Amino acid sequence: MSGPLSGIRIIEMAGIGPAPYACMLLADLGAEVIRIDRASGGGMGANPGDVTARGRQSIALDLKKPGAVDVVLQLLENADVLIECFRPGVMEKLGLGPDVCAQRNPRLVYARMTGWGQDGPLAKTAAHDLNYIAITGMLDSFGNANEAPPVPLNVIGDLGGGSMFLLLGILSALLERHQSGRGQVVDAAICDGAISLLSTIHGLKGIGFWENQREQNLLDGGAPYYRNYLCKDGRSVSVGAVEPHFYAQLLDKLELDFGATDYLNQMNKAAWPERRAAMAARFLEKTREQWCDVFAGSDACFAPVLDLDEAETHAHNQHRQNLVRRDGVLQSAPAPRFSRTPGELKHGPIAEGQDSRALLQQLGFDASVIAELMANGAVKQAD
């Protein structure tokens, strides 16, 4: 095993959303991740397109059948972390709540991933990424003025506010365990994490530097120098020249003159609409690739807006080997990088229950008991 998390054992209750992605990252970084799948199936199994399921072992259980819950508890006895993403109260109904699991393993970090959190008026209501970020103030900040907000990819709520804060909680609890010797419950919620991601915006608003109206602010497309523009060929480019010396280079490459390039001139909001129009007209004069040639090597904070296929062939992504193909599917390489203990993409997704028999044998179950568990449907071994 390679990776800085080698030696850490994670038990994952199969689900959707932020938890599978978090477990993918943990597996990439060396953790042993055992996914508890439903014996009834219903998942993507060994589908190579289920990228976030890579790097796992799988045991398929029907937790309503006799003996299945005991299998989970025995798995937890030597585990470091349990990750579950059910609605509040589901694990308790299954007989696998935090108190029960802590009795079997006091050092266990019990990580709970939900949209709304474990309590509150919305805690048990159904929703998805878009809903979770809607009540944070974040969604209303996206898009063009006087239009409904666009639908962003779920990387902001599910993965940014969810997976990343789940991982932060897990790793923090593991570090604390070195001092106390005890595990604890981590309550990670997409809504909570998304609000935290707004910290910079809260600060700007607190000093009167951010308005609730869209396209009136530095980072929401209002500033002409922090915006995406359409080119002659219908493709787009991005500019982010916030600092005055970068802004000066941007105007130089565009051959535009807005007078002084100091910060006060840049922040003259009254002039932003006119300058946006001037820059939009200038970018329409050339194709995206022509503008790439113009800005090559500059510090104007410029980059082409690439689609998913183009991203694979971009020189920087190729040099960093940011994208790899496994079983014909393009996907991210393990990140971040480590000098001594690099992460590794161990293998692609596997069938649900592929490791059921082997894991039961590792736990010390007698062959006759394994046969009984499989006969009554508590455990399923993939074909």
What six digits make up the tokens of 145? 């003025």
On the 0-12 / 13-18 / 19+ scale of CB atoms within 10 A, 74 is: middle
All structural domains of the chain with their residue ranges: 9-197+323-380, 226-230+236-304
- Name the CATH superfamily, with its identifier, for domain 226-230+236-304: formyl-coa transferase, domain 3 (3.30.1540.10)
- Bridge partners for 379 per DSSP: 61
pTM: 0.95
Q: Is the dihedral of CA 96, 98, 100, 101 positive or negative?
A: positive
Per-residue pLDDT of the chain (383 residues; tens, 9 = 90+): 689 999 999 999 999 989 999 999 999 999 999 999 999 865 445 788 999 999 999 999 999 999 999 999 999 999 999 999 999 999 999 999 999 999 999 999 999 999 999 999 999 999 999 999 999 999 999 999 989 999 999 999 999 999 999 999 999 999 999 999 999 999 999 999 999 999 999 999 999 999 999 999 999 999 999 999 999 999 999 999 999 999 999 999 999 999 988 889 999 999 999 999 999 999 999 999 999 999 999 999 999 999 999 999 999 999 999 999 999 999 999 999 999 999 999 999 999 999 999 999 999 999 999 999 999 999 999 97
Task: From residue 338, give the alpha-carbon distance in Å to each of 21, 23, 159, 308, 342.
Answer: 20, 18, 22, 26, 5
Pairing of β 81-84 and β 109-114:
parallel
Closest CA to 253 of 293, 294, 282, 296: 294
**Dihedral sign of CA atoms 341, 346, 349, 355 in order:** negative
Would you call 128 a catalytic residue per the annotation?
Answer: yes
Cα–Cα separations (whole angstroms), residue 21 to 164, 176, 244, 287, 332: 9, 24, 39, 37, 12
Local structure of 315: helix, strand or coil:
helix
| Locus of tokens 């399923």 | 380
Q: Please report the pLDDT score of residue 47 as a whole number.
A: 86
What is the pLDDT at residue 45?
57
Whole-angstrom distance, CA of residue 244 vs CA of residue 227: 16
According to the model, what pLDDT value does residue 257 have? 95
347 given a catalytic annotation: no
Cβ-based burial of 259 (10 A; exposed 0-12, middle 13-18, buried ≥19): exposed
Predicted pLDDT of residue 1: 60
Pair 87, 17: CB distance under 8 Å: no
Phi-psi region of 110 (alpha: psi -120 to 50; beta: other; left: phi over 0): beta
The reported pLDDT for the residue numbered 2 is 83
Q: Which CATH class is domain 9-197+323-380?
A: alpha beta
Q: Please pick, among 50, 128, 187, 327, the residue that the annotation labels catalytic.
A: 128
Task: Show the beta-strand stretches assigned E in 29-150.
Answer: 32-38, 56-61, 81-84, 109-114
- The residue annotated as part of the active site, out of 28, 37, 80, 158, is 158
**In this predicted structure, what is the pLDDT of residue 263?**
87
Query: If we measure between CA atoms, which residue out of 145, 129, 132, 276 comes closest to residue 212?
Result: 145
